[in-house]
Structure 1
Amino acid sequence: MDQGLSFDLNVGPEVEEFANALDNCLSPFLSQEDKRARIIDLPRKYYENAVRRLQQARPKRARSGYEDVDMDADEIETADGDGLSGEADEVKQLEKEVQTWDLIRRLLPLRYATPEAKTDDRPSIEMDTGSTQSDLLLEFLNSDPLARERHAVLQWLQSNAADGPDIDDLARDLLKQADRGDIIAHGWLHTRATIKLRKNLTAWNGLLDRQQPRVMESHVNKDGAPLITQLDPDAITRQGRKLEPADEYFERAIWLGCFEHLRRGSSLEELREWCQERTEMWRAVSMSAMLLSEDQTVPVDDLKPESLALWRRMCFALARQGGSDDYERAVYGLLSGDITSVEKIARRWDDFLFANYNALLRTQFDSYVLSRCPPNVTSTLTQNFPSFDAVQFLGKPQGVEKRLVRSLESQPRTHDEATEPSKALQAAFIARDVERHLYEQGLVMIADANANGKSILLPSSEPINSGVVKKKYFSLDQDDGLRIVSHVYVLTALMKKFGGAQKKVSNFSPPPQLTFSQESILAGYTDYLRRAGLPELIPLYCSILEAPRQYDVLSWNLIHEEDPEQRLLQLKLIKKAGIDVLKFVDRQVVLFYEALGDKAPQQAAFSIISDGPSTPQFGKLIKADFFGYEEGVVSSGDDHVIRSLEWLLMVDGKWADVFSMGTKVYKFFLRSGRLGAARRLYERISFEKIIQGISGQEETEDIWYEDADFWAKLLERSEVSNMSPEQVQAEARIFRGLEALVKALDGLETIASLMLISTELSHGDREFWGPAGESIKNVKDYMKPLLKGWLMPAIKAGDAELQDIRAAYLPETILAYISALHFAGTGLSRENLLECMELAALVAERESDLKDVFADAKRMTELVEAFAACSKALAIATGEKRPSGSGSKKQREMGWSRDLWSVKTGTGDASVIGPA
């Protein structure tokens, strides 16, 4: 993921929409209070965004022809056709995302409520028995933050259930077995018909149960079980008799529907309408005392506190001791706050959590209701009518949510769903265990990133604990999950930053690498944004990270950008995001320089002169392609550090740092023999271009560079005050000197190629020698800085690295230069050979620093032999004039003559080599 690879990502508009919503929360023009308010409201925007996408995705499935209501989600998954499966997966993923943001939007404002928001404006209700159910519930929720949160979770679970299949569809199979066609009303049709038939057969006009016992023994249903004799609602439990089998299915379908309405938080009006359609209004009445519906704005029947307390206990008795069906007992178990009876029909993770949260909230409310009853009434109710105490049943209040979540994870029936990443994230938020969850999520992503090699963006900090269940967390290739969990981390990080810390209830002890691991989630998301072609969003998310991680993540992501215009745009976005641009570019270049390694690796002795014998035409041949056989190819690490210097140069006032850091990079490249990388550095960031950029002048004089006043003016113009002119002058001198070496070597490599080509050409090929002359001229210009005091000021100041570079490169480079002049002298003009003799004189000067470098390298013999070969070539040269880039006029002014070394012969005279 760190190599700049691009994948075929299916990026939806939600990526940018999420970023825009976040950006609106962090405007520098907002006060801290306004930022905080917008951040708390952010999950609502994400929720609405996900709902809109879900609504757009759902019609796709209907258009595919598989809209049959009998087909559930599991069947859709297994249907033939990849297209259908993909659409079904998309819908399922969106449903999970909607649920996640719905949960967070409900809980975040409660957990980070301001002190003012915690006190409701409604007047407090006096403690008397005149309070009604509506008043009591509102007052209870207003007085207990924990109850408000549990109520919010309960409403979330109700909302999730409400998005499920239609209730009538759930009961359809039961109604088919009820054998009543399309009739959904009028109660127990089959049992009524049997009772009526019994009366007709026995000519009995009264109640059947008043007949003789032996007659009653024969009053059975189709299965041979005793049949009820009356049709009132509690006849089954009162008489201990059965219905006709078909009516038992109908009864179960009715109770299933009632339970689903309660489970989904339906209002009393919805429940009444549903029961009225089935002529079962008595059921709605029996359930109407306290529904805890999802919509709190719907009015409910008002009851006195003592009535509510008694009603709850009656429901509990029915749940535990009455009822003819599991669904009937579950209905009254739900209303009474029982757990066992509700869990008996639970199918999914949500159902089990609902059973427990419903019980906890109703237990809390029951305690509140009893506190509003007269003491004698409270005593009578508690002593004579048992109720279920979920708070006591579930143990110590502190951490009860976490224990519930972990128990669901360990149960076989809910384990698979509990360890699904979206559900695990929801569970962590409910259990106030987000810190641990995000920490372990980061560890999993780090492990993914390092699975196939060391990751730079997500470096491995510690091994994953064996207790971490990896399948609970999103992997790096789950793009939607990565986006969701990244924004959850953003929310938690921003809420820490802008105050209002939630009450700590988790006993999670943060490990040392907590922040690093959590921030790795966002680091992974920025890599996704880069691969998705949305680098302009990266600075926004990096602003959430702490320094220096934010600079590191920015650096690794933006280093791939090569377009100067885009780089300038990124720098503007970085500044807008509140990130220090100067610190970013400083950190970036240090980061990539350090990534090269602690020190330059050892290399073989620098050698570009061939080992073969000297030839009259070339002297010693220069090795071809000594920069590398693949021109322009450098390692990604080398290229990154060069790009980081380009970023540094783009920021006003940082050009002086380019000299200092560029010198370090040059040193590393040259000491490790990375000539290709060094050449790319001078091609991308040349000394001349830097000076032109900051001085505004196209041409400058070399003498200016040795003038401290010149650098002082540039520093003043750039408003740089942290460096002295003398310091910048020294750094610039070294940078320029190392660049000169690389340019000279680059020119010599060109000459080496020309040497090879010339062997296949005729002696006077003007098409070849014309351009070759220009190459020779360039090499002469490049070599000039190396021939007098090259790097010596810094070496005398104690720079050991430059001493090593001088010792390693200068002798070999000068020998190659001599070969280049030899080649030019025999191929172009012997004036080049004369210049070689001038070089010999320069080396021989008393003040020359060149002979010492050859003496120290024990290569004086090679130098003498190279000069001797040139001298010999000059002696036998024909003097034929060829196109040349040599400055013959200048040489004549210095006293040189073509005839100086010409060979003169006469009859009987020996050849004399020397001045005439």
Structure 2
Amino acid sequence: MPPTLRSSIHGRKAVQQPESPEQIDNEDEDEDMQSDHEMISSEMEDDMIEDDYNDAPVQSSAQELLRPLQETADRVSRQVEEFSQAFDRFREKSKKLSGQQLWEETWKLMDTYATIASKSAGRVQATSADSKHAQKKRKSLGVTNAQKENLLLESDLWNLTLELLPCKSPHLLEDAHHAQNSALVELHRYSTNDEIWKAFMEVDPVANEYEALLEWLQERKRKTSPALKDVDLDLYDKSGRGDGLWEGGNIYTQAPIKRQKVTRAHPGPLDPAEDMRTIHFRKADSEPLVTQMDPDAALRQDAMLEVEDELFESSAWHASWELLRRGSSPEQYRNWWQDRNELWRALLLRNSSVQNDPAINKAWLRIVNLASNRELAKLCRELADSRDLATDYENAVYGILSGSYSAAAPVCKSVDDHLYSLINSLLIERYDQFIFAYHERLETPALQDFIPSPSTSREISNYVQSSQTDKTTKAEAHQPHKYFQSALMSGDLAHFFLEMGHAAAQMAHLTGQSKTLFDNDETQVSECAQVAAQDEDVIRMAAHLQLALQPLGLLDQAYEENASVMENNIINYLGLLEQHAKYSLLPLYASKVSAQRQPRVLGRILSKVTVPKERDTQMRLMKSYGIPVYRVIYTICDYTRRSWAMKLNDRGEALKAAKIIEYKDKIVRVRTGFIGEMHDDEQALVVQAHEWVNYIDMKNWGMACWLMTALYKTLLLSGKLAAAKSLSTRVELAQTSLKVTGMNLSLAAMVAETPDEDGDAEVGGDATEDGHNRLAGPNKRRKESKPSHLLAKETTNRSALAEQSLVWAHLELLVQAMDTLEYWQDLADSVDTLPRNDPKTTKTAKKELGQTLQAVHSAMQPLLDHGFLSSAMDEQEDHDLRHIREHYLPECVLGYNSALYFGGHAITRQHLVQCMELAQQIAQNETLIGAFVASKRMQELVTAFAHDSQALLRANEHGTSSMRGRSGKRSSLGGERGGRADIWQVQWTADKDQ
């Protein structure tokens, strides 16, 4: 942990520099491991350097062209991984910490982030020394220096958070509070400037923060600016000094003064008498010249320097500004001006006080020395506000020395310049207040305590707001990293996170990227926030900073009032992880989202995860982070189903059940390929998403049943039978129930078990029901039991679990029955392509037809049971099941009858007898009768059975050895048509709906 006192006098953690290539080469082997693509690209580039660029192979050029994109992807991927690892370690440690220990651990986390960013910036620097040809290629892809500068800035920004965090710590605030009670006691008339400064920093936490900001701005200026040279200064090239050092001061004005002294034989300084103005003036514009060469002569005499010297003065004051802006030490001041014979300027910049204490940060002497130079400080303020100075840079220098932002603002060319000048003035203002209290205490010894004034950081926030609209700084202020920096420096991070949260939702809906994760937000925010909410680096930085500060309590009020908006920043980062396919990191960050939004966010992202191994990983991670898995699974399934159903409805495809049968020559038959294959990717995604129910827990089995029945109903009512078929095979009730509950809850398994075995199958809890009650209908069960929804009931009782699964089982059996009918018709249609006069083929075909018809018979039996699809769990489900019954049961029954009819002619007349048995079953089944009556298809059923009866009568007339076809003619296989079955004369083809 850094020292509690953040004073520059006592030092602080050095700002980390991006690592050199040599340092990077010494990293761990895992971090240095290059991908195959990187290694190949590197080898290609080396070959191209040796050869002429115009003759380079096309493949090599392509590799080199794509290399920047790969490097960017690798850089982002590595940063994402490293940040997540650091945050995960912090999350685990922070669970057991509180108070100052938590602050120390958070400070270490900021240090880790700064190290990661520094390494990333170092890697970019290490790879930036490419060939000119490679650089040209990279530029064509938009890889600019701005991107590299952003990486360096990110590294510096994490270092800034590292410096600012202790300023908010309870330990520092507590120490400052205690120090305020006796702040002035140890100070006396002979206290040195650094002792006064130290006492000031001990009592004022806000001053510690301002000092950290100023130091960071000075460091940034030094790092991002080239070495200061004369030619870099405004107007220097017009001052007539050439490219050498400044020697002789204002030499162009000295010459006429010397001439006047020689002419007048004047041994001392010229008297600026009124008559001198008539003979001592500039030739360029006849303005009076100064008669003396001290620095104040022009202002004191209200006279001018020669034009070249005025330009020289302007450049000199510009240089002074630059030296102050870069935080140069007194030694650097002295060296600069001593080389130019202007040593007095160096004394001015440090406020002319001798300090030999090596512990002092020499860059701050100009502020520290204000304690003993009150008159000089007063004069600097007057000069800063003076309108008589020749150049704005002179006002600016005096403004920095005295703490006048208005005097420095005209020469500020960037947001950082303005912030530097403003924060400098705020710090000096607070120091002046302490110095005033110090002097007051010297007059009144009874005064001992000092209470600093409230924070004035609001002025920084106000400037940040104005910089976003000022035409001179607007472009810079809108840069995402600069927006993040401004938020750090203003200290109003809560406002920053809220604005970013609003912007994240807005831009998601505006761009369509990750919009399903957010509710639409119409709150007005700045353009800066909207731009930053789309920048990947700032999204990552904002999310991690927010997650680090939240446990410290610094954002409690913002979370209390706008929790959902604050969470948008984390969710925005989750969307970014989704874009980069970092699915394994999702649960870590989702665990920091409220319990209400976790399922929605994770569910909508994980719905796209279809690989079983990845699903297993997600399940393990979600459980380890305490995320309610069953709620996520519910969202995955429910969201995909609802989204797909809405698209169907928008396209007008919803609620249009599929036709199973058709009529050919007034004879009913199954439509060929009425299910077909599933080629729709959206349907496939919905089905695959419901495979997640295999991961649900036993207590939430009712939820799994609800999800599956909901999708089955949607698919059947919209006629998407191929998807329903896929669902029945991919998420089969028997296998899923066995995996989730350890029991096979399919209808076939339940029927096969004896009541005693069923009674012994309970696992515990709800195993007190009688055997007859277990088999009772759900409506009766609901009346006899507690009023809660059956599917919401948590149970481990086998019969209760089976009852929850009943509708799922019925819908699955319905789809399986339709699947067997389709297969039967495909087989029946295929007989037309077989050899007509091959007895062996005929025998084989009959055998296969018989086996398939038996499968149809078995699949149709559950549909003929009493109460099939009549066990609705609620009114809405009853409505849906009624529509399914009234459409699909008549279709399936008529299709089944047509299969028996065909089998009675092609295989054996016994199948015609089964047609009569089918008629008897239907007559005794109220559910089936009701379905035919409600769908107004009873006439079709009666007609079909009439055809069955006629066929059976004809078959009986001709005996069992030969059966006649429908036309009564002899078949080509021998005998009179109609005397025996002739499957080769059956040529049913698909026709339009009847």
On whether the aligned pair clears a TM of 0.5, the verdict is yes
Change over 3 Å in CA distance of 1:477–1:748 after alignment to 2: farther
Give the gaps of 5 or more residues in structure 2. 1-68, 445-451, 768-792, 970-977, 981-994
Instruction: Give the 3-state SS of the residue equivalent to 1:184 in structure 2.
Output: coil
Name which of 871, 881, 902 aligns with 1:794. Answer: 871
Name which of 247, 251, 270 aligns with 1:209. Answer: 270
Does 2:462 correspond to 1:403? yes
Q: Deviations over 1:624-645 (max 9, x none)?
A: 3433x55253635x84375245
Does 2:116 correspond to 1:49? yes
Q: Which residue of 1 aligns with 2:477?
A: 418
Does 2:151 correspond to 1:94? yes
Does 2:553 correspond to 1:500? yes
Does 2:939 correspond to 1:861? yes
Q: Which residue of 2 aligns with 1:820?
A: 899
Identify the range of structure 1 (850-859 vs 595-604) with the bigger mean alpha-carbon deviation.
595-604
Name which of 518, 536, 539 aligns with 2:587. Answer: 539
CA contact (8 A) 1:207 1:229 kept: no
Name which of 231, 239, 244 aligns with 1:178. Answer: 239
Q: Which residue of 1 aligns with 2:407?
A: 341
Name which of 379, 385, 392 aligns with 1:320. Answer: 385
CA distance in 1, matches of 2:581, 2:369: 63
Change over 3 Å in CA distance of 1:852–1:866 after alignment to 2: same
Does 2:808 correspond to 1:742? no
Q: Which residue of 2 aligns with 1:556?
A: 604
Identify the range of structure 1 (37-46 vs 817-826) with the bigger mean alpha-carbon deviation.
37-46
Q: Deviations over 1:594-627 (max 9, x none)?
A: 656699987356632214433xxxx412223433
Alignment of 1:606-755 (within 5 A): 607-614=659-666, 619-627=667-675, 630-633=677-680, 635=682, 639-640=685-686, 643-649=689-695, 651=697, 654-655=700-701, 657-693=703-739, 694-695=741-742, 701-704=749-752, 707=755, 710=758, 713=761, 715=763, 722-755=795-828
Q: CA deviation at 1:578?
A: 3.4
Give the gaps of 5 or more residues in structure 1. 1-6, 68-75, 379-390, 881-896, 906-910
Alignment of 1:282-681 (within 5 A): 282-289=344-351, 297-298=361-362, 307-321=372-386, 323-374=389-440, 399-451=458-510, 457-465=516-524, 468-474=525-531, 478-491=535-548, 495-496=549-550, 498-501=551-554, 514-592=562-640, 603-604=655-656, 607-614=659-666, 619-627=667-675, 630-633=677-680, 635=682, 639-640=685-686, 643-649=689-695, 651=697, 654-655=700-701, 657-681=703-727
Q: Which amino acid aligns with 1:177?
A: K
TM-score of the two chains, using structure 1 as the length reference: 0.79
Change over 3 Å in CA distance of 1:118–1:823 after alignment to 2: farther
Q: Which residue of 1 aligns with 2:985?
A: none
TM-score of the two chains, using structure 2 as the length reference: 0.74
Q: Which amino acid aligns with 1:635?
A: E
Change over 3 Å in CA distance of 1:42–1:14 after alignment to 2: same
Higher helix share: 2
Instruction: Give the 3-state SS of the residue equivalent to 1:180 in structure 2.
Output: coil
CA contact (8 A) 2:687 2:727 kept: no
Change over 3 Å in CA distance of 1:91–1:304 after alignment to 2: closer
Change over 3 Å in CA distance of 1:182–1:728 after alignment to 2: same
Q: Which amino acid aligns with 2:729?
A: E
CA contact (8 A) 1:319 1:341 kept: yes
CA contact (8 A) 1:61 1:87 kept: no
Q: CA deviation at 1:299?
A: 8.2
Q: CA deviation at 1:832?
A: 3.8
Instruction: Give the 3-state SS of the residue equivalent to 1:412 in structure 2.
Output: coil
CA distance in 2, matches of 1:902, 1:66: 87
CA distance in 2, matches of 1:299, 1:469: 36
Q: Which amino acid aligns with 1:861?
A: Q
Q: Which residue of 1 aligns with 2:988?
A: none
CA distance in 2, matches of 1:363, 1:742: 81
Q: Which residue of 2 aligns with 1:25?
A: 90
Q: CA deviation at 1:462?
A: 3.9
Q: Which residue of 2 aligns with 1:10?
A: 73
Identify the range of structure 1 (126-135 vs 593-602) with the bigger mean alpha-carbon deviation.
593-602
Q: Which amino acid aligns with 2:330?
A: L
CA distance in 2, matches of 1:242, 1:84: 54
Change over 3 Å in CA distance of 1:30–1:586 after alignment to 2: same
Q: CA deviation at 1:555?
A: 0.8
CA contact (8 A) 2:477 2:483 kept: yes
Does 2:184 correspond to 1:151? no
Does 2:886 correspond to 1:807? yes
Q: CA deviation at 1:562?
A: 1.0
Tell me: higher relative CO, structure 1 or 2? Use CA pairs within 8 A at least 6 residues apart.
Answer: 1
CA contact (8 A) 2:249 2:341 kept: no
Instruction: Give the 3-state SS of the residue equivalent to 1:186 in structure 2.
Output: coil
Q: Percent identity over the alignment?
A: 25
Change over 3 Å in CA distance of 1:268–1:696 after alignment to 2: farther
CA contact (8 A) 1:646 1:685 kept: no
CA distance in 2, matches of 1:679, 1:235: 98
Q: CA deviation at 1:428?
A: 3.6
CA contact (8 A) 1:209 1:216 kept: no
RMSD over equivalenced CA pairs, Å: 4.7
Instruction: Give the 3-state SS of the residue equivalent to 1:413 in structure 2.
Output: coil
Q: Which amino acid aligns with 2:466?
A: S
CA contact (8 A) 1:446 1:520 kept: yes
Alignment of 1:222-301 (within 5 A): 223=284, 225-289=287-351, 297-298=361-362
CA distance in 1, matches of 2:301, 2:520: 70
Q: CA deviation at 1:552?
A: 1.0
Instruction: Give the 3-state SS of the residue equivalent to 1:490 in structure 2.
Output: helix
CA distance in 2, matches of 1:703, 1:170: 97
Q: Deviations over 1:496-524 (max 9, x none)?
A: 3x2433697xxxx9998x43334333323
Does 2:208 correspond to 1:161? no
Q: Deviations over 1:419-445 (max 9, x none)?
A: 443333333444444444433433333
Q: CA deviation at 1:214?
A: 6.1
Instruction: Give the 3-state SS of the residue equivalent to 1:209 in structure 2.
Output: coil
CA distance in 1, matches of 2:156, 2:857: 73
